[in-house]
Amino acid sequence: MAPKSCGVDFGTSNSTVGWSRPGQPALLPLEDGKLTLPSVVFFHAEDFEASYGRAALADYLGGHEGRLMRSLKSLLGTSMIDESTELMGQAIPFRRLLEQFIAQLKLRAEQAAGRSFTRAVMGRPVFFVDDDAAADKRAQDTLGEIARAVGFQEVAFQFEPIAAAFDYESQINREELVLVVDIGGGTSDFSLVRLSPARALKSDRREDILASGGVHIGGTDFDKYLSLSSVMPLLGLGSLLLSGRQMPSAPYFNLATWHTINFAYTRKAWPEIQDMHRQAMEKDKLERLMNLVRQRSGHWLALQVEAAKIALSESDTTQIDLGRIQPGHSFTLSRETFDGSIAHLVADIERTVNQLIRSAGVPATGIDTVFFTGGSSSVPLLRQRIAALLPDARRVEGDLFGSIGAGLALDARRKFA
């Protein structure tokens, strides 16, 4: 009998499920043959039915009436997880929204595999919450409760960078000391691990893990600060009121942050934005903001910013189209602007890596390989800083969206064998 265990990488931006079988690819197709399911839910206003992943984004961008939810993982470890949000006049607990999405992951994986899964190794960041052990434990406990509620009878956890290390280990033929750099949608996680084909056979790998660390900074934070520095000023951020005071910033921060975009559409928010428009010195900018909120296009704008971030990882410039809120309007964005907007975040990541290497008591010259995974690990400024810390290390890029899920599948096979 093939094992009924799988690895579940519930990500801030994208999710995967892996099933480890000899000679077979680990990741299971979750949507139209694709191995990732974007961590997105769209609730249709007319019938309250939900769509998921790329279909959810297509429904939203296609103009269907309803509400888009993204970055639900970011709620774990916060007080919001025990609160509710209003969906078409109904109060829906955030915990239930996470449960619906993870249930969908399980269902799609089982359909692809042609069997049920009763055991799972769930991926988790090294820290759900920085510098708060109690909140971090609550986050893992909550995720475990949700996993059991959707039908997993046994649930274990593994740090996401360790899972990525296991995936890399399956591809090497000699021993290496590897720094895993996992920059996901919500967190940056790191592990320094001794890997080899012989070590892969051990059931207990604790002595091979020299250090693990992380910081609550990820791709959605890059999106946020790129938006705040380049797009939100076009909607009035940083402009002045007639009184000479600066424009209130709360609506802009909500619209720049994936999991708070819907706060800009509340009954309380709209009169405040109208008042900002009445008192604005640059009313044209506030008119763009009002158009955005009136059309509930905050997620559309965030997707434009995310696409620009991705493009600037490959090119020196890109265009951002604002035609939905001001017909015919677009502007050019440079990598230099992008680098400036995220420099403080990259500096925090760099400090975290430095501390991890020091805590392991290993000289930088002793690290053989830096293994990059996670969708945001391709950001050029980030790679440059990591390379400067470890100039002698070989740099390897894994499957940016699949290494963790594949490694979790390997870990599930070992844990539940």
Segment 31-41, tens digit of pLDDT: 999 999 999 99
How much is the pLDDT for 67?
87
103 inside domain: yes
Torsions phi, psi of 66, nearest 5?
160, -160
pLDDT at 203: 80
In which domain, by residue range, is 88 found?
Answer: 5-174+398-415
Distance CA 375, CA 36 (A): 12
Polymer length of the chain: 417
Please state, in angstroms and rounded to a whole number, the distance separating the CA atoms of residues 183 and 375: 7
Residue 1 has pLDDT above 80, yes or no: no
- Pairwise CA distance, residues 124 & 136, whole Å: 10
Entry pTM: 0.91
User: Region 287-315: what's the mean pLDDT?
Assistant: 95
Backbone angles phi, psi at 159, to 5 degrees: -60, 135
> Which strands sit side by side in the sheet containing 66-70, from one edge to the other?
50-52, 40-44, 66-70
Average per-residue pLDDT in the chain? 94
Q: How confident is the model at residue 3 (pLDDT cuts 50, 70, 90)?
A: low
Place 87 in a pLDDT band, splitting at 50, 70 and 90.
Answer: confident
Total domains in the chain come to 2
Q: Comparing 157 with 66, which gets the higher pLDDT?
A: 157
Q: What share of the chain in percent tops pLDDT 90?
A: 84
C-alpha 19/C-alpha 4 separation (Å) is 9
> What is residue 343's DSSP assignment?
H
Classify residue 349: in a domain, yes or no.
no
pLDDT mean over 161-187: 96
**Residue 58 scores a pLDDT above 70:** yes
> 380-389 and 335-360 helices cross at what angle (nearest 10)?
30
**Cβ contact 90:9 at 8 Å:** no
Q: Which of 295, 321, 339 is the last residue of a domain?
A: 339
Domain shared by 157 and 47, yes or no:
yes
Portion of the chain with pLDDT greater than 70, in percent = 99
* Range list of H helices, 312-371: 335-360
- Assigned domain for 208 exists: no
Walk across the sheet containing 369-373 and list its strands.
209-215, 188-195, 176-183, 369-373, 394-397
Segment 360-367 mean pLDDT: 94
Tell me which residue has tokens 């802009």.
252
Per-residue pLDDT, averaged over 362-366, amounts to 94
Type of residue found at 5: S
Residue 10: give its domain's CATH number.
3.30.420.40
Same-domain pairing of 147 and 226: no
**Mean pLDDT to the nearest integer, 252-265:** 94
Lookup: tokens for 310: 């991705």
Shared domain check, 234 and 139: no
Same domain, residue pair 45 and 121: yes
pLDDT category of residue 102 using cuts at 50, 70 and 90: very high
Question: What is the DSSP code string of 324-337?
Answer: TTSTT-EEEEEHHH
Q: Could you tell me if residue 88 is left (phi over 0), alpha (psi between -120 and 50 degrees) or otherwise beta?
A: left
318, 236: one domain: yes
pLDDT of residue 313: 92
Torsion sign across C-alpha atoms 166, 172, 173, 174: negative
**Section 258-262 average pLDDT:** 91
Q: Indicate the helix (H) or strand (E) that contains 221.
A: helix 219-226
Q: List, for residues 216-234, the tens digit of each pLDDT value.
A: 999 999 999 999 999 999 9
Asked if residue 128 lies in contact with residue 135, where contact means CB atoms within 8 angstroms, the answer is yes
Same domain, 122 and 42: yes
